[in-house]
């Protein structure tokens, strides 16, 4: 099942994608959503981030190809992204003033389906509603020099997700890719995660209670490069679709 969150005629709703159409739902997909009987053309709506998380968890250095020569931790390296960074498909990524080394990071993103606390590894599938695609946009100079990564990875628009939440996929074996201006820059399967999905959810929920709609960025593969104003960055997770965002043109600093 492929769920989207969308805006049409001034209203925001969830829906189920059926080919080129959306079956509109009434209610929250994490509680009890029911069909309204209304069908809309997919091309005629504005797709939004497919959920509204209260918590945005992220795992760093979770592929050997991205870790490089750095030593692997004995547990997942976690950081938080503020929910204010969450960005809709198609919306521009805006570099804050002073940001000059901003990279893309293509990632599989988990969407939690029910309240999760101290979840055993074997029970993790029961708590995952579905998956989506995400771009953990990162200002590398700030990431290197700041005490916390709040601005390096949490600035406004630094968390695009979407275009849909898909259920029923084998998230342990999916291809994750990024394309910058149409050129493939990252391409690796989630079988190569250093800490698999069960380990991540088990570890996070030992310390933090996750709620329905919360999301977990699971890490990015390979090496990344800086983006520039006018670039188009695409993140594709197998079975989910393409998350596409443009880098906004540089704006003059306020005087």
Do 234 and 109 share a structural domain? Answer: yes
Q: What tokens appear for 199 in the block?
A: 């380990």
End-to-end CA distance of the chain: 50
Do 155 and 30 share a structural domain? Answer: no
Is the pTM for the entire model greater than 0.85?
A: yes
Q: Taking Cα atoms as reference points, which of 240, 241, 254, 232 lies closest to residue 92?
A: 232
Q: How many domains does the chain have?
A: 2
252 pLDDT exceeds 70? no
Is residue 132 a part of any domain in this protein? Answer: yes
Is residue 251 a part of any domain in this protein? Answer: no
Is residue 255 a part of any domain in this protein? Answer: no
Given this model, what pLDDT does residue 71 score?
85
21 pLDDT exceeds 50? yes
41 pLDDT exceeds 80? yes
Do 19 and 140 share a structural domain? Answer: no
Q: What letter does residue 54 receive in the DSSP assignment?
A: S
Task: Over range 26-45, report the average pLDDT.
Answer: 96
Given this model, what pLDDT does residue 254 score?
44
Do 239 and 133 share a structural domain? Answer: yes
Do 63 and 165 share a structural domain? Answer: yes
Confidence of residue 253 (pLDDT cuts 50, 70, 90): very low
Looking up tokens 């919360």 gives 214
Is residue 253 a part of any domain in this protein? Answer: no
Do 72 and 21 share a structural domain? Answer: no
Peptide bond into 163 cis (omega under 30): yes
Do 125 and 13 share a structural domain? Answer: no
> What confidence tens digit (pLDDT) does each residue in 69-123 have?
888 889 999 999 999 999 999 999 999 999 999 999 999 999 999 999 999 999 9
Do 140 and 43 share a structural domain? Answer: no
What are the CA-CA distances from residue 14 to residues 115, 138, 169, 193 (Å)?
A: 20, 29, 20, 31
Mean pLDDT of the chain: 96
Give me the count of residues in the chain: 255
Sign of CA dihedral 184, 189, 108, 140: negative
E strand residue ranges, the chain: 2-8, 11-18, 21-26, 34-41, 46-48, 56-60, 77-81, 86-87, 102-103, 106-112, 128-135, 138-139, 159-166, 175-180, 183-189, 215-217, 232-237, 241-246
250 pLDDT exceeds 90? no
Do 144 and 18 share a structural domain? Answer: no
Do 195 and 125 share a structural domain? Answer: yes
CATH number of the domain where residue 152 is located: 3.90.850.10
Do 173 and 113 share a structural domain? Answer: yes
- Domain span holding position 23: 2-48
Do 108 and 213 share a structural domain? Answer: yes
> What confidence tens digit (pLDDT) does each residue in 155-170 have?
999 999 999 999 999 9
């Amino acid at each position: 099942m492929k769920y989207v969150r969308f805006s049409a005629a001034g209203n925001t709703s969830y829906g189920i994608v059926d080919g080129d159409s959306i079956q509109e739902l009434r209610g929250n997909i994490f509680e009890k959503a029911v069909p309204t009987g209304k069908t809309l053309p997919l091309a005629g709506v504005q797709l939004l981030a497919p959920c509204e998380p209260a918590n945005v968890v992220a795992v760093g250095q979770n592929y050997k190809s991205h870790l490089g020569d750095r030593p692997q931790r004995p547990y997942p390296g976690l950081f938080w992204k503020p929910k204010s960074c969450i960005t809709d498909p198609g919306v521009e990524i805006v570099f804050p003033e002073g940001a000059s080394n901003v990279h893309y990071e293509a990632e599989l993103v988990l969407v939690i389906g029910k309240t999760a606390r101290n979840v055993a590894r074997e029970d993790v599938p029961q708590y995952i509603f579905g998956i989506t695609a995400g771009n953990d946009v990162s200002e590398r100079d700030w990431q290197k020099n700041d005490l916390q990564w709040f601005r390096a990875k949490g600035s406004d628009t630094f968390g695009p997700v979407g275009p849909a939440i898909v259920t029923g996929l084998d998230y342990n074996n999916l291809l994750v890719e990024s394309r910058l201006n149409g050129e493939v820059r990252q391409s690796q399967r989630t079988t190569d995660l250093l800490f698999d999905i069960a380990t991540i959810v088990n570890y996070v929920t030992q310390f933090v209670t996750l709620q329905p709609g919360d999301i977990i960025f699971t890490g990015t593969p390979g090496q990344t490069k800086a983006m520039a104003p006018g670039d188009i960055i695409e993140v594709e997770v197998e079975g989910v679709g393409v998350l596409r965002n443009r880098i906004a043109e540089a704006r003059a600093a306020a005087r």
